[in-house]
Chains A and B, each alone.
Chain A
Amino acid sequence: DAKTTQPNSMESNEEEPVHLPCNHSTISGTDYIHWYRQLPSQGPEYVIHGLTSNVNNRMASLAIAEDRKSSTLILHRATLRDAAVYYCILRDAGIGYSGAGSYQLTFGKGTKLSVIP
């Protein structure tokens, strides 16, 4: 399985931007980069995903390196409600295209984001 590497923890001041990095040097051509976040005592929730181009939605932005071996989740203005564990995973799209590929969804330890008031 393609794996991702993230820092264990990061801190940010409230209302400042946050850049959460993720390395995925063994990414394959059919892997989408997905980000999830997990608030305390809850299940993870989807944040954003991308394949090659940078993506924006109401929650965050995703910047993907040109070689796709790394990506960065950007929270433009951190709030206290953004304090969570953020997971970067690779989601194999090959199954949807051709029926071949890995059905595993592997989550690492993620990055614990603390937001300082």
Chain B
Amino acid sequence: DGGITQSPKYLFRKEGQNVTLSCEQNLNHDAMYWYRQDPGQGLRLIYYSQIVNDFQKGDIAEGYSVSREKKESFPLTVTSAQKNPTAFYLCASIDWGVVNTEAFFGQGTRLTVV
């Protein structure tokens, strides 16, 4: 089955450590996205990538980094520079080449700083 997979589902990090969240899709989508969601809030865009080896900052990119070396993978690193990293992180992908298809989301990674 085609889909988008995030791992791990739960992640704990000590203050001052970098941590990388995984996002993999087998939908053959060029575009991928990372969002952050805080309790009771909507989705805020961190980074997005339109194509391999290219990505752009979203609204809240500070303290995060990404790479897009393969079409299937778009990992997000939460660096020690991110002052309040505890949140629910969501990855999505979409095929912009088809004019009316929808975005697909992973099930999320819940990051907690301890």
State the A residues within 8 Å of B (CB).
32, 34, 36, 41-46, 49, 51, 85, 87, 91, 93, 95-97, 103-110
Nearest-CB distance from A110 to chain B (Å)?
Answer: 6
A-B interface pairs (CB < 8 A), number: 69
Contacting residues, chain A, for B43 (C-beta < 8 A): 44, 87, 107
State the B residues within 8 Å of A (CB).
6, 31, 33, 35, 41-43, 45, 48, 50, 56, 58, 88, 90, 92, 94, 96-100, 102-108, 110
Question: 4 tightest A-B contacts by CB?
Answer: A43-B105, A96-B99, A109-B42, A46-B102
Partner of A108, one of B33, B42, B94, B107: B42
Q: Are A96 and B94 in contact (CB under 8 A)?
A: no
Using A43-B92, A44-B90, A105-B94 as known contacts, list a sample of 18 further A-B pairs with CB atoms less than 8 Å apart, ordered by residue number in A: A43-B6, A43-B90, A43-B108, A44-B43, A44-B105, A46-B103, A46-B104, A49-B100, A51-B100, A87-B42, A91-B102, A93-B99, A96-B99, A96-B100, A103-B48, A104-B45, A108-B42, A109-B41
Closest to A112 in B: B40
Q: Are B45 and A103 in contact (CB under 8 A)?
A: no
Closest to B42 in A: A109
Contacting residues, chain B, for A36 (C-beta < 8 A): 102-103
Known contacts A104-B45, A109-B42; is A45 also within 8 Å of B105 by CB?
yes
Closest to A50 in B: B100
Contacting residues, chain B, for A44 (C-beta < 8 A): 43, 90, 92, 103, 105
